[in-house]
Amino acid sequence: MKPPCALVTGAAGGLGFAIARRLSEAGYALLLVDMNPAVSDVAARLATAGARFDHCMADLSTEDGITAVSEAVLATCLPLHLLVNNAGITRDARLQKMTSENFDLVIEVNLLAAMRLTLGLASQFADGSSVVSMSSRAALGNFGQANYVASKSGLIGFTRALAQQWSPRVRANVVSPGLVDTPMTQAMPDDVLAKLVQKVPAGRIGTPEDVANAVTFLASEQASYITGQVLTVCGGRSLAP
Amino acid sequence: MRTVIRQRPCDSLDDISHQLREAFLALRQAIEAENPVVIVVSAPDLLGQDSLEGAALATGLVGLMRAATFEGSGKGWRVNVLAIDPEAEPPAEMLDIATQNGSLNGQILNLGSGHFGKIVP
C-alpha cells in the first residue's frame, strides 16, 4: 500500500529535520523542501533511518520556486496528504531601527511564501488531508520582532480562513512553538538562555521533538475533528507572567 | 494627536505586503511623534470569515500592534486595535477610548456581534 505523502518546507533546519523524522516514523513518505543545499544532507540522514523521501531545493519567495515544488509534488508526492509550512527567517531589530527591507523580507518568507505555496498546491491535496503551518508563541508579542510577529500572526489568520474555506476536504491548523532548543537558542549566552528558561512553567527548554509531536498529532486521524486551531507548544510560557 | 491606521479591502498577496509595510511605517512615525495609535481592522477578517488575504492582513496588523506594545509599553507607546464592520466608519468615541484611556494598551476592541462564541486570535 502506498504511504501517505508529506511535504515539509524549511526541512534543512533543526525543527524541519525533527518534523521530517517524526513524520517518517509515523509512516509518511516525504518531500523535503529548502533553499539551503543542506536539505540533501538532511535527506541523507533520514535515508539511513529508513525514510522514504525526495528532496527539492527551491526559493519559495519566487514563482519559479513554487513551480519547482509543484513539479516535484506532481512527480513524487501525489496525492498530497500533508503540507507543513515550516520555512521561516528572522531579521530582528527594535521597531524604530528596523528597515523596510527587512520588514518586507520576513513578511515575504514567513507569510506570503507559505500562502503562495499552499494555494499553489490546492488541487494536489487528497481528501482528508491537512495543512500545518508553523507560527510562534511570539505571535502574541515579542521584543524587536515587529516583522516576525506580524508574519506569524498573519499566518494564524490565513489558517483560520483556510480552515473555513477548504473544509471538509482539507484541515488547516497552526503549531506555535515557544522557546525551543535550536541553533538559534544555542547561540545565546548561557545566562540569557537560563533567564528565559526560568520563565517557562514547564521548567525546561522545549525540544524539536516536542514540536514535531504536535505537528504529527495535528496531521493524524486522531485530530480529524480539529481544524482552524492554534496548538501552542511553549511549556506554559504564553500564560505565565 | 492620534494616528489611525485602517485596513483596506485586500485581494492579493502583494496587497498584504503593501498594507503591512504601510502600517509598519505609519506606526513607527506615530511612535516617533509620541502619538497613540489605533489600527482599524475588519471584524469578519479578524475571525477568518471573509477572504484568505483579508484574514492574513487583519491578524498581521494585530501582530504589529502586539509587537509594538510588547516593545514600547514601558516607554509610553500606546497601540490598540479596533475591529469593526468593513463598511462602517470607526465611531469617534471608540477612537477616543482607544487612545485616551491610559490603561488600555495592546488590546483588541471588537465591535459588532460576529465574535460571540468565536475564538478571537
Q: What per-residue confidence (pLDDT) applies to A236?
A: 97
Q: How confident is the model at residue B40 (pLDDT cuts 50, 70, 90)?
A: very high
Closest residue in B to A109 (Cα–Cα): B17
Q: Is the pLDDT of residue B56 over 90?
A: yes
Which of A148, A159, A176, A205 is flagged as catalytic? A148
> How confident is the model over B13-26, as pLDDT tens digits?
999 999 999 999 99
What does the pLDDT average to over A176-195?
93
Mean pLDDT score of chain B: 95
Q: Is the pLDDT of residue A78 over 80?
A: yes
Q: Is the pLDDT of residue A9 over 90?
A: yes
Give the CA distances from residue A119 to residues A19, A212, B3, B9, B114, in Å, rounded to whole numbers and listed in that order: 22, 23, 35, 20, 27
Q: Among A183-187, B29-33, B80-84, B92-96, which stretch is predicted with the lowest mean pLDDT?
A: A183-187
Q: Is the pLDDT of residue B27 over 90?
A: yes
Q: Which is higher by pLDDT, A241 or B36?
A: B36
Q: Are residues B121 and A112, on separate chains, in Cβ contact within 8 Å?
A: no
What does the pLDDT average to over B89-93?
96
Q: Which of B10, B17, B20, B57 is most worth mutating to test chain A (most A CB atoms within 10 A of its CB)?
A: B20
B17 vs A112, A142, A153: nearest CB = A112
Angle between helices A146-166 and B13-32 (to 10 degrees): 140
* CB contact A128 to B (< 8 Å): no
Per-domain residue ranges for chain B?
Answer: 3-110
- Count other Cβ atoms within 10 Å, centred on residue B63: 32
Q: What per-residue confidence (pLDDT) applies to B112?
A: 74
CA B59, CA B67: separation in Å to the nearest integer?
12
Q: Are residues B67 and A142, on separate chains, in Cβ contact within 8 Å?
A: yes
Q: Is the pLDDT of residue A41 over 90?
A: no
Q: What is the assigned CATH class of domain A5-180+208-233?
A: alpha beta
Q: Which three cell numbers stand for residue A232?
A: 501552542
Q: What is the assigned CATH class of domain B3-110?
A: alpha beta
Q: What is the ipTM of this complex?
A: 0.97
Q: Which residues of A111-150 are buried (b: 16+ CB within 10 A; e: fewer)?
A: bbbbbbbbebbeebbeeebbbbbbbbbbbbbbebbbbbbb
Q: How confident is the model at residue A51 (pLDDT cuts 50, 70, 90)?
A: confident
> How confident is the model over A127-159, as pLDDT tens digits?
999 999 999 999 999 999 999 999 999 999 999
Quick check: helix, strand or coil at residue B3? strand
Q: How confident is the model at residue A47 (pLDDT cuts 50, 70, 90)?
A: confident
**Are the CB atoms for A163 and A228 separated by under 8 Å?**
yes
Q: Is the pLDDT of residue A103 over 90?
A: yes
CA B9, CA B11: separation in Å to the nearest integer?
7
Q: What per-residue confidence (pLDDT) applies to A49?
A: 72
Q: Are residues A153 and B68, on separate chains, in Cβ contact within 8 Å?
A: no
